[in-house]
Amino acid sequence: MASIDISGVKKVYAGAVTAIHSLDLAIPDGELVVLVGPSGCGKSTLLRMIAGLEAITEGTISIDGTVVNTKEPAERDIAMVFQNYALYPHMTVRGNLEYGLKNRGTPRAEIDRRVTEAARILEIEPFLDRRPRQLSGGQRQRVAMGRAIVRQPKAFLFDEPLSNLDAKLRGQMRIEIKRLQRNLATTSVYVTHDQLEAMTLADRLVVMNGGRIEQVGAPLALYERPETLFVAGFIGSPPMNLIDIDDLRDKGPLALPDGTDLVGIRPDTIQLSPPNGPHLMLEATVELYEPIGGESHLHMRLDGSGQLIVAAVPARTAVTEGGRATLYVSMTDLHPFNRETGQRTD
Amino acid sequence: MIENRPFLAFLTHLVLIIGVVIVVFPVYLAFVASTHGSGDFMRGLVPLLPGPHLLENYGFMLNEGISTAGAPPLSIMLLNSLVMAISIAVGKIAISILSAYAIVFFKFPFRLLAFWIIFITLMLPVEVRIIPTFKVVADLGMLNSYPGLIIPLIASATATFLFRQFFLTVPDELMEAARVDGAGPMKFFRDILLPLSRTNIAALFVILFIYGWVQYLWPLLVTTDSRYYTVVMGIKRLAATADAEPQWNFVMAAVILAMLPPVLVVILMQRLFVKGLVETEK
């Protein structure tokens, strides 16, 4: 168990492509940090630099107070779970679990104890003598996790470990990873592009874009108060509606800071009946009615500007496709942004 | 597509059987010839059924050989061939798997150039570079020796290329996982890459063993001492006697014996060979 400190880390590939621009991040002991962002944002590169699989161009990464820049992955005492699991195909499950321990010269009795323990936790005891190719995707995923936990490393690094699983299994494994991490209280860095996975797993969420950190914080804090336009658009499903301020001026008593030219409205803060307190009132035509189950998504076109807007409303709502709807948004639910700087203005 | 057309089935089988007969008949004739006495061929009629001299002919060839043709007993030539073929196969595999490992998994300057230089040697078969190679081997004093027979034939672009293609299909994550698990380059090679290449190695061994076994020109050049004759070149000497009629029964016994080891290698390694082609462990 250990803290991870990343300070001023930069990654420049040959050919002067900068993958990561001077990045700082401190991960305290026992925390599960999720790096999330679109593909090519540098999240995997950052993880691989922590693992030692990628050289650090500038800056330092320390694990447990020791700078590890020049250390081999094995010397960093971290364990990594790969997207395609990277299990050794010619070894049995037991062989896979043992391999790292054997290489470190762990005594036989200790190896057996840890493998048995990990197999019990992950419920893979029945497969210990099988080969990876005889296992299903979910079972392979467990073995990959097992290989990480038998090592009892200072930190777990997860590189999109669930993206090869089907949706249902992904949901199950997500919960298991969270439970496991809680029980073991091992510092973890988890990379994903799936914002649902990111929101549900993270103690702290790091949203990355273009090699830079956009915002760091608790998942709900990021959802409720995105600091940049990118975070506003990336976190939340369906994504936040962004409406030009000029289209809203005559819709209600706007009182937004100077420099605001774009206003964000979360689909789930749009109401169909007037709230108490100051609010906006918008008229729209319903184009598509999308029932999800617990709620329904209304895809509408605003009168005037003709902009598309999405609202998440209770499941059974008395609107029909092609019909009219009046939308209300409380003033406190508005997110003011400046288009130029991409920053929040309040 | 399963069709039941008796005529088509008959026709295809007929073609197959004719093909098999065409291939097998000369081999059968060689076998028949090797079982007759020495005079049986002088009469102009080639017998089609095995004769009574099987053990006698083979025993004679294995133990004594036709000394008038300057050939040693077949057992020595077979042993020489075996040593040469196995050494070439093992040597080629060892060298090419290591060079392919270097080319695929390590980043060093001129890596691609190194690969292409190896690849270009594919265009230069033994026959093309035989005179300079002979000169080098002669100057090193390796004529009439096993190293002289073996070493010049070991460098192999084909095997390097095949191993390279296989290594390229091994996911990078496997190496990264091994690095995280504390396996250095040699350990990764030994514990992971080598077991994964098992079937490829088996398949290559079969091919390269046969390649080594059938070498004719090179042994002919570098050996003048009959103790180092290999069987394939030895047969030529048996047949080319100066004044006398060739003793076909003995020559054919040598041919059959020369044919056996490659056949055995193919049959014994067939299971692994086919397995290598059918299933991929990745």
Q: Could you read off the pLDDT of B72-111 as tens digits, one per residue? A: 888 889 999 999 999 999 999 999 999 999 999 988 888 8
Mean of all residue pLDDT scores within chain B: 86
Classify the phi-psi angles of A320: left when phi > 0, otherwise alpha if psi is within -120 to 50, otherwise beta: beta
- A343 belongs to a structural domain: no
d(CA A324, CA A327): 10
Whose tokens are 């998942």? That residue is A219
- A130 belongs to a structural domain: yes
| Residues of chain B contacting residue A103, judged by C-beta atoms under 8 Å apart | 181-183, 187
- B27 belongs to a structural domain: no
CB contact under 8 A, B196 and A103: no
User: Which of B180, B192, B197, B199 to mutate to probe the A interface, most A CBs <10 Å?
Assistant: B180
Contact yes or no for A208/A35 (Cβ under 8 A): yes
What CATH number corresponds to the domain at position B171? 1.10.3720.10
Q: Kindly identify which residue of chain B lies nearest to residue A83, measuring between CA atoms.
A: B173
Listing DSSP states for A113-182 in one string gives: HHHHHHHHHHT-GGGTTS-GGGS-HHHHHHHHHHHHHHT--SEEEEESTTTTS-HHHHHHHHHHHHHHHH
CB contact under 8 A, A99 and B191: yes
Contact yes or no for A337/A232 (Cβ under 8 A): yes
User: Which of B107, B181, B190 to mutate to probe the A interface, most A CBs <10 Å?
Assistant: B181
* Both structure tokens of A326: 């009046």
CB contact under 8 A, A99 and B173: no
- A342 belongs to a structural domain: no
* Both structure tokens of A142: 């467990």
| Residues of chain B contacting residue A131, judged by C-beta atoms under 8 Å apart | 281
Per-residue pLDDT tens for B4-53?
788 888 999 999 999 999 999 999 988 888 888 877 776 666 777 887 88
What CATH number corresponds to the domain at position A24? 3.40.50.300
- B14 belongs to a structural domain: no
pLDDT at B241: 66
Per-residue pLDDT tens for A286-330?
999 999 888 999 999 998 888 999 999 988 888 888 889 999 999
A266 and A158 co-located in one domain: no
- A346 belongs to a structural domain: no
**Cα radius of gyration rounded to whole Å, chain A:** 24
Mean of all residue pLDDT scores within chain A: 91
- B9 belongs to a structural domain: no
Q: What is the ipTM of this complex?
A: 0.84
Does the pLDDT at position A221 exceed 80?
yes
* Domain extent for A311: 239-337
d(CA B262, CA B207): 9
- B256 belongs to a structural domain: yes
Does the pLDDT at position B66 exceed 80?
no
A209 and A152 co-located in one domain: yes
CB contact under 8 A, B176 and A90: no
CB contact under 8 A, A82 and B173: yes
- B206 belongs to a structural domain: yes
- B184 belongs to a structural domain: yes
Q: What is the mean pLDDT of residues B224-230?
A: 87
| Residues of chain B contacting residue A78, judged by C-beta atoms under 8 Å apart | 180
A154 and A264 co-located in one domain: no
A291 and A179 co-located in one domain: no
**Residue whose C-alpha is closest to residue A265's, from A251, B76, A276, A36:** A251
pTM of the predicted structure, to 2 decimals: 0.82
A127 and A244 co-located in one domain: no
Q: What is the mean pLDDT of residues A336-344?
A: 92
Q: Which residues pair with A206 in a beta bridge?
A: A35, A216
Identity of the residue in A80, A100, A133 whose CB atom sits nearest the CB atom of B182: A100
Q: Which of A231, A258, A276 is the last residue of a domain?
A: A231
Q: Which of A175, A198, A231 is the last residue of a domain?
A: A231
**Residue whose C-alpha is closest to residue A160's, from A89, A81, A56:** A81
Contact yes or no for B216/B233 (Cβ under 8 A): yes
DSSP code of residue B68: G
Q: How many domains does chain A have?
A: 2
Q: How many CB atoms lie under 10 A from the CB of residue A190?
A: 27
Q: How many domains does chain B have?
A: 1
pLDDT at B282: 42
Per-residue pLDDT tens for A105-163?
999 999 999 999 999 989 899 999 999 999 998 899 999 999 999 999 999 999 999 98
A185 and A63 co-located in one domain: yes
pLDDT at B272: 78
Identity of the residue in A80, A84, A133 whose CB atom sits nearest the CB atom of B180: A80
Whose tokens are 């995997």? That residue is A44
pLDDT at A222: 93
Query: Is the minimum CB–CB distance between A92 and chain B shorter than 8 Å?
Result: no
- B119 belongs to a structural domain: yes
- A3 CA: distance to closest CA in chain B (Å): 19
- A30 CA: distance to closest CA in chain B (Å): 20
A201 and A257 co-located in one domain: no
* Domain extent for B173: 34-278
pLDDT at A206: 95
SS3 A272: coil
Q: Are β-strands A32-36 and A187-192 bridged in parallel, bridged antiparallel, or unpaired?
A: parallel
CB contact under 8 A, B281 and A133: yes
Per-residue pLDDT tens for A151-166?
999 999 999 999 888 8
Query: Is the minimum CB–CB distance between B176 and chain A shorter than 8 Å?
Result: yes
Per-residue pLDDT tens for A222-250?
999 999 999 999 998 889 999 999 888 88
How are strands ordered across the β-sheet holding A262-265? A241-244, A262-265, A334-337
Q: Which of A195, A213, A231 is the last residue of a domain?
A: A231
Label residues B109-124 b or e (16+ Cβ within 10 Å = b). Answer: eeeeeebeebeeeeee
| Residues of chain A contacting residue B281, judged by C-beta atoms under 8 Å apart | 89-90, 131, 133
A63 and A90 co-located in one domain: yes
A197 and A250 co-located in one domain: no
| Residues of chain A contacting residue B177, judged by C-beta atoms under 8 Å apart | 80, 82, 86-88, 147
Does the pLDDT at position B217 exceed 70?
yes
- B26 belongs to a structural domain: no
Identity of the residue in B174, B180, B191 whose CB atom sits nearest the CB atom of A51: B180
A51 and A190 co-located in one domain: yes
Give the angle subtended at the CA of A84 by the CAs of A139 and A29, to the nearest 5°. Answer: 85
Reported residue count of chain B is 282
A52 and A119 co-located in one domain: yes
Q: How many CB atoms lie under 10 A from the CB of residue A72?
A: 13
A204 and A274 co-located in one domain: no
Whose tokens are 């006698």? That residue is B56
